[in-house]
Amino acid sequence: QVQLVESGGGLVQPGGSLRLSCVASGDISQIIAMGWFRQARGKERELVACISREGRTNYAALVKGRFSISRDNAKNRIDLQMSHLEPEDTAVYYCNKVPTGAAVLGLCPVPSPDDQWGQGTQVTVSS
């Protein structure tokens, strides 16, 4: 099974930018869709953005226009460029494979907590 390692998080002031990276240990080119998800303290994990292997993207309403997801199948890498960050973006950010059954329908639900997850990368937006 492909291992995923997230990086790039940190402390940033409101209005700032960060670029997160997710590198997979194996080939992701056949994975129908990959996504970035986040979990704030005391809240459930939620979708941030997802991208199909053909490059079609889908964003959560709260981040649309501020975040951009990209995928490089040759490098087995998924990036998330985040701009105009807000305190409400503070969370641990994870990347993962979108469940196949949903991905073929163009949907991007949060994978099960029982699925394999990486350690994530903490993003803190604060002045």
Q: What angle do CA 118, 122, 124 make, to 5 degrees?
A: 160
Query: What CA–CA distance (Å, rounded) separates 18 from 48?
Result: 14
Cβ count within 10 A of residue 101: 10
Task: Express each pLDDT in 58-112 by its tens digit.
Answer: 999 999 999 999 999 999 999 999 999 999 999 999 999 999 889 988 899 999 9
Closest by Cα among 97, 94, 93, 19 to 52: 97
